Structure formats: structure tokens, C-alpha cells
Amino acid sequence: MDTIFALATAPGRAAIAVLRLSGPGSREMLAGLCGRLPTPRQASLRRLRDAKGAVLDEALVLWLPGPASYTGEDSAELHLHGGAAVVEGVGAALVALGARPAEAGEFTRRAVLNGRMDLTAAEGVIDLIEAETATQRRQALRLAGGGLAALSASWSDRLADLLARQEALIEFEDEGLPGALEREVAAGIEALAGEMAARLAGDVGGERVREGLSIAILGPPNAGKSSLLNALVGREAAIVSARAGTTRDVVEVRMVLAGLPVVLADTAGLREAADEVEAEGVRRALGRGEEADLVLALLPCDAPPDPATLALLARRPCLVVASKADFGGAGSGGMPAGGLAVSARTGAGMDELRRALEAEVARLAPGAGETLLARPRHRAAIRDALGWLAEASKAPLPELRADALREALRALGRLTGRVGAEEILDRVFAEFCIGK
Amino acid sequence: MDLRFDVVVIGGGHAGAEAAAAAARCGARTLLLTHRLDALGEMSCNPAIGGVGKGHLVREVDALDGLMGRAADAAGIHFKLLNRSKGPAVRGPRAQADRGLYRRAIRALLEETLGLTLRAGVAEGLERGVDGGIDAVLTGDGARIACGAVVVTAGTFLRGEIHLGPERQPAGRHGDPASLGLALSLAALGLPVRRLKTGTPPRLDGRTIDWAAVEPQPGDDPAEPLSWMTERITGPQVSCGITATTPETHAIIRANLGRAPVHSGQIQGPGPRYCPSIEDKVVRFAERERHQIFLEPEGLDDPTVYPNGISTSLPRDVQDAVIASIPGLSRARILRHGYAIEYDHLDPRALRPGLEVREVPRLFLAGQVNGTTGYEEAAAQGLLAGINAAHRAGGGREPRVLLRTEAYAGVLVDDLVTQGVTEPYRMLTARAEHRLRLRADNAGLRLTERGIAWGCVGPERAARHRAFARAVEDALARARAELATPAALALAGIPVNQDGIPRSLLEVMALPAAAGPALEAAFPWLRDLPRGVREQLETEALYAPYLSRQAAEFAALEREERLPIPEDVDFASIAGLSTEMRQRLASARPATLGSAGRVPGITPAALVALAGHLRRAHSAARAGAA
């Protein structure tokens, strides 16, 4: 029986994230993370370290020896600080100790199988599992075209095709199959493995989840950049004054948009600076504009568009905002089309802006909208599949290659659902003229 | 006339013959009732037995002391081990048999089976007892045969209808009447019936084939027998021929498609995708300019040749033109035209895993009537149905089943009773999740001991099997225990990493570089192993690294396969199952948790709910018993 772990609290930013661990290895793994085992069933503060001794988090730890635990097995709960990086780090350390991310519903399954849960309780939990899966499906749909889920579905499809060809080679050797079939399968395996490996290596969406997307607010002086930032975060983070040039350095605020951490930066207004300090501020503002994942370009309605800001629009992904809409005069000559008219003072247009920002964030971090629970599971599944593809590549016999492809498909099936023998055979018969 | 038997088997095809022989071997007084005794063991289609997947089934039937392998060895005139260049797990032994010799071999095996009576006659009806189960079989000549269980192997005889161009005629096999009385009797039981279709090619007169114009295909020499009990093949062998259709053939077919019953809408039932008619192939794979045809002699003294690959129901004149357009066949005479046959089969999801009809106690169904195709699929079902019928007639209640993890026959029955069929079901190795374990070469090691426990294996095979199994076990134990250092291996000419870690013989045998002579130099006792034992050792070594990596998954699957779902479970009463899940489970009625997981559309959440229910019911039953 494997030792499994999963996030027990809702994924996303929160003060605390509870990670649950269950299985025969729980005792050793918990000891591996926090040194000494705490007294059973007593919350204890422990410093969690990975194998190299690096501190992962300071956490409240519960040691719950079986059978009196949720699953009936040796279990533990780790009450972590709720940051994505912390959860990921502890998850990685657990994998290094031999645990694996739980399948959906696996804790409950074990609880039921170990007789720890009566039917009414199981029923409630099963409803929850269903709800979670439905959410994942919705998220996968929302991210179609770029999301990891959609991608793994297409991998699974290609893998099923490769397996079908491999099976055809085994079942129907004397049926006049195309001569190049074996080479095609080998080439297909190489190509697929290459793509999966590249994707695992450069999981950009994952990086963004850890570090946060950066959004820079840029515009001419006194366009209302600081007012907008304050209106977005809902507190006085930046000093607001009617005098142009108030913000001389970059002001950073962390917030959550579309379930993802975002660093919002307020910058100095773009203009010929009157003094050294302000000039440095403008230089930094422009630098920020170049580095940001997204620029919020602010053009006040009460003035003609600012050339420095317009120049930025051409180079960087921008969301154009026509600020001070309450002053009227929107549509003054040269205002780029599609700008959102907002007023930080009256709140007009702020909801639309927030929605537009969320859409941009989701677009910029494909796959990152999937739950944190699902992500290590995805990676583990893809890593598994990749291992089997390598096995398939070097398999000395056709049936071993087919077996490895089946296992790879089974691994991906944890993301996309099971692909049964009948479906593979459907593909064989659709493609090849079988039957003497 | 009043008679009484423990088991009555209706039908004398491949399912019926195995069922009757197996029931009798298990000690049941058995009657085999068939239209014509001279048609026992008739091969109504291709005169070949075995192949990839099918050969596995034959070896399993053989491992349980069935007839098919021995009869094929006695009647075989062309043997070929398919997939010889691939690994042992997917090698499939195949034999083409002399049709007449095969019938005679089956007849002889049946006649020498103790406790088995053969009788020509027509089953007209089934008599039900107070519990709704079958108590007796009524025959066309007015006899009432009381019985403890009945096995119906009706093949395509239920509302069979032959199509040949515009001609249609009710029939079972060619020249045999359809079983109308039995069909009506089964219909009265209210079992779910569906329609399927299959076809057969025209038969040619071999004396009119230009054999010089076709590519010869000799059999293997030496031939690999189908039965483990056969030492070697002694009968005379013949060569087959290979030819192919031409663009002209395809043009003729295209011009006459409207006259094909399948395309004119005269035939409704779906046919098998792996055995399409030539008209189907021409339509679906329009880009291909040729389709291969194997010319298979049907017998030593019989001029009939079976052109494998051109099954058709086109009108007679079109078949004549098609044959004449094929190289080597320009002057070939058609002895009997090809035809398609539509027939009823019973939805096998109405069966328990022992092949007993769930709603009709003591009625077992086996073979083509369950929606399968192929002699081998029929034989495997017949064998299991016979074993279960005998067990039932003797008062047994728990069905005798083989698991998917144990046998292709297990995969076959589980697929049938939980998934049903959408086309005639044929065995393929891709259907078995554990293909590396379920090999044709180890069928006896997997199944014979079980057969001995069930009583269907005779003393001769039992003794030979046990000696062999012990020898294999000893050799394996020794190969696992005996270690050699890298230095010693290098000395023997087997290059391995000089890491100082000793390897077991089994590990060394898995290395591609470990050739026979070098191995024997390092482990001299290998020389003294009998060939069969040595082969098992080599195959185990070959697959061991792969099998051990799948061991955890295999164990998990096997546990689920062994967790039974009680017959009387009310899926509607299981909390946590959605209405859709309840309906799917209720219609498939899976027998185990493992089967439930393969019911299409069943979610993991539903399985958890089901597992929870089973676990609770199980512990409640235990508490009640205590």
C-alpha cells in the first residue's frame, strides 16, 4: 500500500493549508520532515526540513497513528502556511521520501475500505469528490487550448493511436499491414516523449503560480495611477495626491486575481523629469513596464493621450484604461480604441476592469488556474507516463513495447479518464483493413 | 419415453462438444443432443483452429483436458506458429485441419468419454419447474428428458437466415434447418435477444486452381502442436497458397454494390469488423488496390479450398466474376457460393459468470449464441459451461470461474457477462490486461491444477502436469537462488557491469548477451533440463523485470476481482450512487468489484460507494455468523 498525500483545505491563497498524509510510511516520512515524532493526537509546532536540511516551513503537526484515524491507517496532518510555494515544497519533500499525491477520492476510498467510515458519512464525502471533479472539468474546459488538462487529453489521444498501431502489429501480423508501421510507432513515441519532457521542464504556468504575475500601472503624471491601485486593492497602499509626480519610486502590492497571486506595481508618471529623483523614478517605471507580464496603461480622459505611454502600448501586452471618466471628455482625440473607461473616485467601470484583468491573468498563466491539488498529481502522472514511454522506446519485444505504452496510457488516464481495450480496438479496425 | 440425465447439452458444434465432454469428465451423466451426429465437430467456416489470442484459448481448453487441441493435432494438415518473431506471450499456435478428419477426431473423443451419451434429435422445447428453472428437455420425437442442468449451444441456428444476393432462406449452417422450436422456447423465457451477422466466402475446387500462379505458403517444420499432450504431429502436411484481389476485382464489386444484401439494406445486424466481407473492404479501404487471399485446402482427400479473405454475400454471378478476376483463380470452379448469415444471439449480460442464465436456473448458454464468433471462443465457453452445469446438477451453487488475471477464458466470459457485445466477439490479446502472464506456453501451469480440483482433468494429464510443474518450480527456485559474480560471468563470456554485485541466474538469463553456450558454461545444470522446462525458465526470465514492476497493480486488480458483489444486491439501495450509476450497474450486474470498474461509464466515486457497501455488508454477514 502506497503512502499518499493531498491538500485537505481548498487550494489557493489562504492563511493555513492543511496537508494530509496517510499510509504505512507516514511515521517515517513525518519523522523525516520534522525530526522527532510529536505525541499522538497533540498539535505540536515543528520546523519542517527537506532531505538537504533546508527549512520548508514552521508548521503545526499532528501525528495520528492508525487505526484511529480518518483512513484507519497511520496518518499525519501538517498545518502549513498557506503559500503556494510552501505547499509545493513540502509536497516535493514528501515525494522524495516516497509518498505520492493521492488520486481523487483516495483518502475516502481507504477510509471506506478500512471500515472507518459508515455509509452516510461516505455518501457526504463522495458528493464532495464529485463536486471537485466537476469543478476540475469546468476549469479544464475554461483553459481549453492551453491548459495542461487539454494538453494531456491530446497526449492521451495520440498515445492511444500509437498503442492501437502497436496492437495491430501484434494481432494481425499476416494481414498485410503497412510496412513502415513499426518505424512510425517508434518515431511517434520519440516525438511524444520529447514534447512531454519539454513541457515538464518548462512548466511556465507553474512558475507563475509560485512567484505571482506582475502587472505594472503606467501612464502620464497625475493620470490617477495610485488612485486606481488603491481602488483595486481596496486600501490606501499608495500615497495619492492631486499633485503630479507624487509617486517617485515603484510601489508594489500583492493581491489575488482569478485565484492567482499578482504583484501590482504603481509607478512614477512618464514625463520629462524636473529633478534627479523623479528622473530615476521614471527610469524605473519604464523598466517595470518592460518586465511586467501585463501593463495597465492609464490615459486620463481630461487630457490628450501621452506619447510615452502610447509608445509602450506598441511594445508590451497592455490593457488600456481611460481614467478619470467622471471628469467627462472621454474620447478626446487620439485615445486608443477599446480602452476601459473607469473612475477610481466614483467606482464607475471598476468591475469591468477587474473582470478584464482576471481574464488577462488566466490567459497569461495557462494551466495555473487548475487547483494546486491537481497540479502535483498532473506532474506525477506525466512523469510516470514519460518513464513508460522511455521504457517503450527501448523495449526489446513488440509486446513489451505495447505493455509499456499501455502503462503510459494508464498513467495519463489518471488525468483524462481510462482508455479501455475496446477503444484501442476501435482505432485498429478504423485504420487498418483487418480480416482475411 | 422418459429419460433422465444430470446434464443435457443441446448442439454438437465446438461449444456443445466441449460442454458435453467436460460435464461428463466432471462425473455428470451427460447427454449430447444434436441434429445430426455426423456433423459433430463440423467446421462451418474457415477450417483453421488457433491463432493469436485464439491459440491461447485452445491451449487453455487443452489445459483443462478439453478436446479441441487434441482433435486439431490429429486432423491438422498445416501448422504455423504466428508471431514467431515476437515474444512468447503473443505467439499463437494455429493449425489448418482436414475437415473430415477433425469431425472424426471429435466424434472419437466424444465416444470414448465415459458417462456421455450421444443422440441425434431436435430439441423442441424446455420444460420449466416450479422455481422457474429448467427441469427437462422435450425433443422433436416426443421424448421428455429430465435433467439437472441444460447447456444450450445453438450457434447461429436461432432464427438464422442466409443471404446470397437477393436470395434468402431460413437456415442454421449451410444445409441444416434453423432451430425454430428451440428458438420459440427460448423466446418464451423472455431473454434479451439481438441480431448479428457473419459471412463466409465461396468454396473453390482446388483441382481448378492454377497453383503455379500463386505464392506457396508451407507450414512450419517441425510443427508446433496445439495440445500439450501431443508429442509431435504425425499426419501428412500440405502447403497453402497466397494470392490477392486486383483492381479489376474491385471494379466488379463496386459496379454491383447495390446488389449486396449488406448495402441494399436487406441485412440489418452488425458484422464483425475484423472479418469484413470483401465488399466492405473495397468500400471502407477504397485506396487499397489489393487485398490478400489465403487459399486453404479443406482436406487431404477433399478438393475443396477455402479462399480466406473474400467473405461475401454478393449474388452468384458477381461471385463468379470476382473469382475469375483473381490471379490463379481465372478458371477456378466455385463449389458453393459464399453467403452472409443473420442470426439471433442472446445478450450475454443476462448470464452469471458461470454462464448460467440469471433468471432461469439450470439453463446455461455457450458459444455463438452468446454473441461470440470463432470455434475457439465457442469451445472455451462450452468447456466452462459444461463444468458449471455438472457442478450445478450436483448441487453446487458458487459458479466455477476463471479470473481475467488467470486466463483468456476468464477475460472472454467477464467481457461477455459484464460488457455484452456489439459485434461478434473475437478474442484478441489486446483484450487481456495481463498479456505477459497469460501465455499459450504456460496455460497448463496456470490452469491444470484448477481443472484437477474441478474434476475435469483426467489422471494421465494430471500426472504429467504435476511432474512438469514440479520440475519448472524447482528449476525456477534454483535459478533464483544461484548467484554468480560479475567476474565469473565475464569468464564465461557474459559481459556485465563489473560492480561486484552477484546476479541470480534468472537475472542473467534476461540479459540479451547471455547466449545458450555461455550460460551453460556458467551454469552447467541447465544442460540437463528438459526442453519444456528450460523454455519456461527462459520465458520467466525474459518477462520477470516487467512483471515485477506491474506486481503492485496486478495484486490490486486481483483483490478487486475477488471481491464478489452478491447476486441479490439492490443497487438502488446503495446510498451515494447517482441514478445513472445505479442504472448502469443494474443493467450490467457485475459479479465482482473488478468487473464493476469495467462497466462503461462507471466513475471512481461510484466504485468507492459500491466498495463501501460491500465491505459493510460483508462485515455484517460475518458478525451475523459469529
- Is the pLDDT higher at A158 or at A410? A158
The CA distance from A146 to A154, in Å, is 11
Rounded to two decimals, the pTM is 0.74
Instruction: Give me the residue label for grid cell 456443445.
Output: B16
Give ranges for CATH 1.10.150.570 in chain B: 563-625
Q: What percent of chain B has pLDDT over 90?
A: 63
Give ranges for CATH 3.50.50.60 in chain B: 1-456
Please check whether residue A186 lies inside any domain of the structure: yes
Regarding whether A136 and A28 lie in a shared domain, the answer is: yes
Residues B477-506 have a mean pLDDT of 88
| Whether pLDDT at B180 is above 70 | no
Regarding whether A384 and A355 lie in a shared domain, the answer is: no
| Whether pLDDT at B545 is above 60 | yes
Residues B49-76 have a mean pLDDT of 97
State chain B's mean pLDDT as an integer. 90
State whether residue A387 sits within 8 Å of chain B by CB: no
- Is the pLDDT higher at B603 or at B12? B12
Give the contacts of B25 (CB within 8 A, at least 6 positions apart): B65, B113, B455, B456, B457, B458
Regarding whether A342 and A214 lie in a shared domain, the answer is: yes
Q: Do strands A100-101 and A4-7 pair parallel, antiparallel, or not at all (unpaired)?
A: parallel
Regarding whether A220 and A359 lie in a shared domain, the answer is: yes
* Torsion, CA A140, CA A141, CA A147, CA A148, rounded to 10: 40
DSSP designation for B120? E
Which residues of A are documented as binding site for (6S)-5-formyl-5,6,7,8-tetrahydrofolate?
20, 77, 116, 436
C-alpha distances out from residue B423 to A110, A431, B14, B311, B597, Å = 38, 17, 20, 16, 22
pLDDT band, very low/low/confident/very high, at A145 (cuts 50, 70, 90): very low
Domain at B563-625: CATH code? 1.10.150.570
Q: What percent of chain A has pLDDT over 90?
A: 21
Which of A54-68, B113-127, B383-397 comes out lowest in average pLDDT? A54-68
- Is the pLDDT higher at B517 or at B178? B517
C-alpha distances out from residue A301 to A128, A298, A328, B558, Å = 49, 9, 7, 72
- Taking CB atoms and an 8 Å limit, are B52 and A422 in contact across chains? no
Residue pair B338/B310 in contact by the 8 Å Cβ criterion: yes
| Whether pLDDT at B91 is above 60 | yes
3-state DSSP of chain A: CCCEEEECCCCCCCCEEEEEEECCCHHHHHHHHHCCCCCCCCCEEEEEECCCCCEEEEEEEEEECCCCCCCCCCEEEEEEECCHHHHHHHHHHHHHCCCEECCCCHHHHHHHHCCCCCHHHHHHHHHHHHHHHHHHHHHHHHCCCCCHHHHHHHHHHHHHHHHHHHHHHHHCCCCCCCCCHHHHHHHHHHHHHHHHHHHHHCCHHHHHHHHCEEEEEECCCCCCHHHHHHHHHCCCCCCCCCCCCCCCCCEEEEEEECCEEEEEEECCCCCCCCCHHHHHHHHHHHHHHHHCCEEEEEEECCCCCCHHHHHHHHHCCEEEEEECHHHCCCCCCCCCCCCEECCCCCCCCHHHHHHHHHHHHHHHCCCCCCCCCHHHHHHHHHHHHHHHHHHHHHCCCHHHHHHHHHHHHHHHHHHHCCCCHHHHHHHHHHHCCCCC
Give the contacts of B427 (CB within 8 A, at least 6 positions apart): B53, B54, B56, B57, B374, B376, B377, B408, B411, B412
pLDDT of A436 reads 56
- Taking CB atoms and an 8 Å limit, are B612 and A103 in contact across chains? no
The CA distance from A429 to A345, in Å, is 67
Peptide bond preceding A221 in cis form (omega within 30 of 0): no
Which of A54-68, A195-209, A392-406 comes out lowest in average pLDDT? A195-209
**Domain encompassing residue A382:** 146-204+372-431
pLDDT of B129 reads 93
pLDDT of A119 reads 38
CATH at residue A391:
1.20.120.430
Residue pair B333/B203 in contact by the 8 Å Cβ criterion: no
The CA distance from B560 to B593, in Å, is 5
Regarding whether A302 and A350 lie in a shared domain, the answer is: yes
pLDDT of B437 reads 93
Q: In what order do the strands lie in the sheet with B292-297?
A: B215-217, B240-244, B292-297, B304-308, B203-205, B334-336
Name the residue among A397, A377, A379, A396 with its Cα closest to residue A387: A379
Regarding whether A136 and A48 lie in a shared domain, the answer is: yes
Please check whether residue A116 lies inside any domain of the structure: yes
pLDDT band, very low/low/confident/very high, at A420 (cuts 50, 70, 90): low
The CA distance from A66 to A72, in Å, is 5
Q: Work out the widest C-alpha separation in chain B, in whole angstroms.
A: 82
Instruction: Name the domain boundary from A340, A364, A388.
Output: A364
Please check whether residue A390 lies inside any domain of the structure: yes
The CA distance from A372 to A6, in Å, is 10
Count helices and strands in chain B by DSSP H and E runs: 21, 22
- Type of residue numbered A66: G
| Whether pLDDT at B533 is above 50 | yes
pLDDT of A341 reads 85
Query: In this structure, which CATH number among 3.40.50, 3.10.450, 1.10.10, 3.30.70 belongs to the domain B459-549?
Result: 1.10.10
Locate B431 and state its grid cell: 483484450
H or E element, residue B539:
helix B531-549
Instruction: Report the domain count for chain A.
Output: 3
Q: Is B281 annotated as a binding residue?
A: yes
Please check whether residue A34 lies inside any domain of the structure: yes
Of B86, B272, B274, the CB nearest to A399: B86
Of B83, B603, B615, the CB nearest to A170: B83
pLDDT of A121 reads 43
Work out the angle at residue A96's Cα, subtended by the Cα atoms of residues A92 and A102, and round it to the nearest 5 degrees.
65
Please check whether residue A436 lies inside any domain of the structure: no
State whether residue A421 sits within 8 Å of chain B by CB: yes
Backbone angles phi and psi of B329, in degrees to 5: -115, 10
CATH at residue A338:
3.40.50.300
Residue pair B516/B530 in contact by the 8 Å Cβ criterion: no
Locate A75 and state its grid cell: 496518518
Contacts of A396 in chain B (CB under 8 A): 512
Residue pair A224/A244 in contact by the 8 Å Cβ criterion: no
Nearest CA in chain B to A168: B430
Regarding whether A355 and A317 lie in a shared domain, the answer is: yes
Name the residue among B524, B442, B423 with its Cα closest to residue B63: B442
Backbone angles phi and psi of B48, in degrees to 5: -125, 150
- Is the pLDDT higher at A223 or at B54? B54
pLDDT of B293 reads 94
Which of B201-205, B275-279, B601-605 comes out lowest in average pLDDT? B601-605
DSSP designation for B287? T
Complex prediction ipTM: 0.86
* Torsion, CA A228, CA A233, CA A238, CA A242, rounded to 10: 30
Regarding whether A199 and A215 lie in a shared domain, the answer is: no
CATH architecture assigned to B1-456: 3-Layer(bba) Sandwich (3.50)
Locate B606 and state its grid cell: 461510484
The CA distance from A334 to B436, in Å, is 72
| Whether pLDDT at B253 is above 90 | yes
Regarding whether A258 and A222 lie in a shared domain, the answer is: yes
pLDDT band, very low/low/confident/very high, at B447 (cuts 50, 70, 90): very high
pLDDT of A51 reads 86
| Whether pLDDT at A211 is above 70 | no
Regarding whether A247 and A229 lie in a shared domain, the answer is: yes
The CA distance from B342 to B166, in Å, is 14
CA-based nearest distance A72→chain B, Å: 14
Of all residues in chain B, what percent are helix, strand and coil, respectively (each to 5)?
A: 45, 20, 40
Locate A345 and state its grid cell: 473616485
Of A109, A123, A175, the CB nearest to B611: A109
Regarding whether A217 and A244 lie in a shared domain, the answer is: yes
Instruction: Name the domain boundary from A364, A384, A415.
Output: A364
Which of A72-81, A191-200, A334-343, B391-400 comes out lowest in average pLDDT? A334-343
CA-based nearest distance B140→chain A, Å: 39
CA-based nearest distance A119→chain B, Å: 7
Regarding whether A376 and A246 lie in a shared domain, the answer is: no
Which of B316-325, B430-439, B506-515 comes out lowest in average pLDDT? B506-515
Instruction: Give me the residue label for grid cell 465457442.
Output: B378
The CA distance from B572 to B578, in Å, is 9
pLDDT tens profile B39-57: 999 998 888 999 999 999 9
H or E element, residue B139:
strand B134-139
**Which SS3 state, helix, strand or coil, does residue B131 take?**
coil
pLDDT of B191 reads 85
Please check whether residue A322 lies inside any domain of the structure: yes
Give ranges for CATH 1.10.10 in chain B: 459-549
The segment with the largest mean pLDDT, out of A136-140, A146-150, B1-5, B77-81, is B77-81
pLDDT band, very low/low/confident/very high, at A165 (cuts 50, 70, 90): very high
Nearest CA in chain B to A110: B608
Give the contacts of B131 (CB within 8 A, at least 6 positions apart): B361
Locate A45 and state its grid cell: 509546532
pLDDT of B6 reads 98
Instruction: Name the domain boundary from A141, A167, A188.
Output: A141
End-to-end CA distance of chain B: 51
Of A105, A171, A425, the CB nearest to B605: A105
C-alpha distances out from residue B96 to A313, B313, B328, Å = 78, 24, 21
Contacts of A420 in chain B (CB under 8 A): 598, 600
